[in-house]
Structure 1
Amino acid sequence: MAFETAHHSAKSSAPTAATLGELRASGHVERDVRDEIRHNLLTALRAGDDPWEGIVGFESTVVPQLERALIAGHDVVLLGERGQGKTRLLRTLPNLLDEWTPVIAGSELDEHPYSPILPESIRRAAGLGDDLPIEWRHRSERYSEKLATPDTSVADLVGDIDPMKVAAGRSLGDPETIHFGLIPRAHRGLIVINELPDLAERIQVSMLNVMEERDIQVRGYNLRLPLDVLVLASANPEDYTNRGRIITPLKDRFGAEIRTHYPLELDDEIDVIEQEADLVATVPGFLIEILARFTRYLRDHPSIDQRSGVSARFSIAGAETVAAAALHRATVTGEEIAVARPIDLESVIEVLRGKVEFESGEEGRELEILEYLLRKATADAVRAGLGGIDMRPLVERLEGGDAVLTGDRIPAAQVLDALDDDAVTDLLDELAEQLEIDDAERASALEFALEGLYLARRIGKEPDERGRTVYHVEQPDDES
């Protein structure tokens, strides 16, 4: 299966050479896959170009290790917890291949016209000479990916006898009766095996020849194909002891084992969310920051099963859920612009709690832990985003008996109208400037400030009889 890579620049036109003779006349030089990647990577590095488009947080850790492995020509296994971007990183590798490469027209394995390896292609090349027809393959077509599953067979990866070819009159002893699997079909390209330990051990054994001798053997036939393929894989470290393991001989054949990780810095976590989330409404930056902090707290909390990890997909899905809640509210209330507000963060816990694995013994406390960590993340974001701003105008209005009602069906205009005076307007102007938001996000900023005051215990917050949220200050009872 071929995938479009993360590189989205437009394809250039394919070269025009249509025969082997025209290809030779053009001065084309054959290079194997490793040479292609090494040459193109070194060229990009010399030019100061970034070949790792869309990869965030690995710049000083994973990427240098991967670059050294590719320059060395090594097969690579990426080892890391779920949601660390292993597959995303692997899918950028085709960008390092030549954009177009020639293949023998009609070849089952996309052989280079200079180096046919199948018996049929060798016969055609010998018979046609310089008239051998060629085609051109784009680099996006030279990437294959397989999710390892326990039911994957040797035939899937390497190949097996094709009964249709036998039925067509070829004998079982004819090596041309073979139907090739994914690995030989990746000849002159890249093959990625995701979750490699999920492959049964006997299936992993079938990969040993490919990894070391660079050839395959099928059903004991003497057909030995010198494959030009770079093998890459991903795995979760826990898989070595839980679901399965990479057998020692296969693990030894990978030239590089590289550990990935979750974003080390908060800014990288935020960048991942902003880059990957498909948002259907405006989500202010301070809400993205809360989700990033929330995710990082989950990864460090002792009640969360850290062997399972907390995927970057959690925060991405959280941002998408918050945006969906905002669009839902705008649709119901008739708001023209859908903007997420802090009240929408409640939906993250309700919808995504199943994406977090808790340690045994925490049964019944899951919701309590999630709510606590979300409050902690919000308080940190308030301190970081609103530090130095005087919130007294808000507190004084609430102390005077006003209250702010919010909820998943309360429009932004109603939130703003609750505290409509010059002092609060001036404060909102200051909030908008510090948070770098536009007018449509002012109600969200007001809620953010109110939530910060509540978490600092300067105002109160409680649900009303309809399940909405009220920010207020408890008024003293009149003396009798």
Structure 2
Amino acid sequence: MSPDPSLNPPADLPTTLGALRAGGHVQRSVKAELRANLLARMQDGTTRFPGIVGFDDTVLPELERALLAGHDLVLLGERGQGKTRLIRSLVGLLDEWTPVIEGSELGEHPYEPVLPASIRRAAELGDDLPVAWRHRSLRYAEKLATPDTSVGDLIGDVDPVRVAQGRTLGDPDTIHYGLVPRTHRGIFAINELPDLPERIQVSLLNVLEERDVQVRGYQIRLPLDLLLVASANPEDYTNRGRIITPLKDRFGAEVRTHYPLELDDEIALVAQEAELVADVPDHVLEVVARFTRAVRESPSVDARSGVSARFAVAAAETVAGAALRRAALRGEPAVARVGDTESVVGTLRGKVEFESGEEGREVEVLAHLLRTAVAETFRARLGGVDVSGFVAAVQEGSGVETGELVTAEEVLQQVGTVAGLAKVLDRLGAGEAPSPGEAAAGIELVLEGLHLTRRLAKDVTDDGRTVYGG
């Protein structure tokens, strides 16, 4: 996470230790800095964690209490619950700019050098010690725990190049510091902590309790100032490893995350995260959100593995892709319809862990849950609306053909003037002057809803077209 290249420190910031002291700068620990900035945002009503959806009344209060208490913490939850995004949002609570010793390997505060070389330099230069300013985005580092992670990666090791240059092995300047010391005065995150081998987890014990590191037996103590945050899946799900008891005991707080509890939050999350290449009406996004929740709650799906929010995001993007394909082949604006959601069943089944007894029925299970989601959206959006005109229009003609390659204009021509269409489009939020694509999307929701409530027959042809009959 690097700052915008065009973002430079303000020109009036002090450039020497003497100027920094004369300006009245007060040094704060990282946790004190986070606490002060969090309290300031709470008091002035500023958004504390931008982009985080569905956690306002559950996860965020617990997280805020942990930060205010100055605790290192673990975010515990199933895959795709936004743990990493939440951790990265903590960077916004740091000061925008902070002073460091210019050229320092660990970004030490000018008032408190910790490396032997920095201590010697500060003693020699005194108030002329040069000061640089580091943006908060450079004060964050994260590591995905993998089986090949070493103590050297996290803490540090002897640098053979420096030894080859003539330094002795006892010289602290021969140490190449790992990610944790290099995040001194910042936030360090470890994703999927249980995946870190237990012998490597031991190296973090001193960081969390004594706040220092030891490298290869060197007689050097680095008093680190940082916030350590980890993420993990629940122990009953991940069989790859565990957090060792002494390390777990050193974290001050364990915060449980969850999937969106409310449908509106699920929809908002999809709308925020999905990169849609076509216009996807709100009711189609609702179908995707309801489908995701239905899959998550299905007894056919392994509840311990969870159904990631990435499933819903990928589903929305797939629907948009289906609409764009139709637009490209038939030369019309790309607007998604309910029928486009059928494309997600085959493409996304690999993102779901099914119970062992459902082998071979995966597509059938997902197709049933998708139909349920469409029916629920139809009832929620159009409940109480008189749609008998659509039934009459279909029965009076030879049916209405829709499908992957049927244009919006073709759908509208087949339906003609239907009593109740204006009310339907109003309920779906299409506005006073809906486009042909929006009108066709509304019509298709009605036709599919009538089929699912057993008021219209439906037939799928060999070439993928859908015919709604009487």
TM-score band, normalised by shorter chain: over 0.9
- 1:32 is aligned to 29
Select 1:411's aligned residue among 407, 410, 433: 407
Local SS of the residue matching 1:35: helix
- Counterparts of 2:113 and 2:181 in 1: how far apart (Å)? 13
- Corresponding letter in the other structure for 1:369: V
Deviation string, structure 1 residues 159-207 (Cα, Å, up to 9, x no partner) = 0000111011100111210000000000000000000000000000000
2:77 paired with 1:80? yes
Q: How far apart in 2 are the matches of 1:465 and 1:155?
A: 60
One-letter code aligned to 1:371: A
Q: State the shift of 1:398 in Å.
A: 1.4
Give the 4+ runs in structure 1 shifted more than 4 A. none
Residues 1:384 and 1:18: Cα distance change in structure 2 (over 3 Å)? same
Distance in 2, Cα, partners of 1:191 & 1:84: 20
**Kept in 1: contact 2:315–2:348 (CA 8 A):** yes
1:389 aligns with 2:385: yes
Of the candidates 385, 396, 402, which is equivalent to residue 398 of structure 2? 402
TM-score calculated relative to the size of structure 1 = 0.95
Q: Choose which of 429, 432, 436 in structure 1 pairs with 2:429.
A: 436
1:364 partnered with 2:364: no
Question: Are residues 1:53 and 2:50 paired?
Answer: yes
Q: Equivalent residues in 2 for 1:213-228 (5 A)?
A: 213-228=210-225
How many Å separate the matches in 2 of 1:418 and 1:355?
Answer: 38
Q: Tell me the CA shift for residue 401 of structure 1.
A: 3.0
Mapped to 2, the partners of 1:258 and 1:457 lie a distance apart of 46
**Share of identical aligned residues, percent?**
63
Shift of 1:465: 3.7
| Alignment equivalent of 2:234, drawn from 229, 234, 237 | 237
Q: What is the SS of the residue equivalent to 2:415?
A: coil
Q: Deviations over 1:109-161 (max 9, x none)?
A: 00000000000000110001111111101111101011110100000000000
Structure-2 separation of matches of 1:355 and 1:15? 52
Aligned residue number for residue 103 of structure 1: 100
**Contact 2:81–2:257 (CA<8 Å) still a contact in 1?**
yes
Q: CA deviation at 1:50?
A: 1.8
Q: Distance in 1 between matches of 2:390 and 2:54?
A: 39
Deviation of 1:468 after TM superposition, in Å, equals 1.1
1:461·1:469 contact (CA, 8 Å) conserved in 2? yes
Cα separation, 2, equivalents of 1:14 and 1:193: 35
Q: Within 5 Å, give how 1:442-461 maps onto structure 2.
A: 442-461=439-458
Residue 277 of structure 2 aligns with which residue?
Answer: 280
Quick one: which of 339, 343, 346 aligns to 2:342? 346
1:75-474 equivalences under 5 Å are 75-238=72-235, 242-335=239-332, 337-421=333-417, 424=418, 426-437=419-430, 438-439=434-435, 440-473=437-470
Contact 1:326 1:338 in 2 (8 A): yes
The alpha carbon displacement at 1:84 in A equals 0.4
Q: 2:302 is paired with a residue of what secondary structure?
A: coil
SS across alignment from 2:190: strand
Contact 1:149 1:198 (8 Å CA) reproduced: yes
Q: CA deviation at 1:464?
A: 2.0
**Cα distance in structure 2, aligned partners of 1:402 and 1:115:** 83
The 3-state SS of whatever aligns with 1:286 is: helix
Between 1:401-410 and 1:106-115, the stretch displaced more is 401-410
The amino acid of 2:152's aligned partner reads A
Residue in 2 aligned with 1:63? 60
Deviation at 1:56, TM superposition (A): 0.8
Amino acid at match of 2:382: L
What is the root-mean-square deviation in Å for CA atoms of aligned residues?
1.4
Gaps of 5+ in 1: 474-480
Residue ranges of structure 2 left out of the alignment (5+ in a row) = none
1:17 partnered with 2:14: yes
The number of residue pairs the alignment matches comes to 464
Residues 127 and 291 (structure 1 numbering): CA distance in 2 closer, same or farther, change over 3 Å?
same
Alignment CA distance shift 1:381-1:139 (3 Å): same
- Does structure 2 retain, via aligned residues, the 8 Å contact 1:14–1:136? no
Query: Mean Cα displacement is larger for which, 48-57 or 62-71?
Result: 48-57
Aligned AA for 2:48? P
